[in-house]
């Protein structure tokens, strides 16, 4: 992931310090995230997403994607 950060930021348009700061923050953020928490957040956000009057095809697509994330986490946990 770190190898692609310069592409993400559009280097050389950004200072190397910005990339290094982001790299350090990503390590810190990801280190404290568990797969179980990711599954919980995805499931919770799916509940929030439902009922907003989205097109049925869009809603079903998002449901399938979210449910596949939750299922994959539970399967591999």
pLDDT at site 72: 92
Segments making up each domain of the chain, as ranges: 2-31, 35-76
Helix axes 56-76, 35-49, angle to 10 degrees: 160
Residues in the chain: 77
pLDDT band at 76 (very low <50, low <70, confident <90, very high): confident
The answer, yes or no, to whether residue 18 has pLDDT greater than 80, is no
The answer, yes or no, to whether residue 8 has pLDDT greater than 80, is no
In whole angstroms, give the CA distance from residue 20 to residue 43.
32
pTM higher than 0.85: no
pLDDT at site 17: 73
pLDDT at site 66: 93
């Amino acid at each position: 992931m770190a190898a692609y950060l310069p592409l993400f930021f559009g280097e050389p348009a950004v200072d190397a310090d910005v990339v290094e700061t982001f790299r350090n923050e990503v390590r810190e953020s990801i280190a404290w995230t568990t797969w179980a928490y990711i599954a919980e957040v995805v499931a919770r956000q799916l509940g929030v997403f439902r009922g907003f009057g989205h097109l049925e095809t869009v809603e079903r697509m998002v449901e399938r994607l979210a449910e596949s994330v939750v299922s994959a986490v539970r399967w591999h946990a």
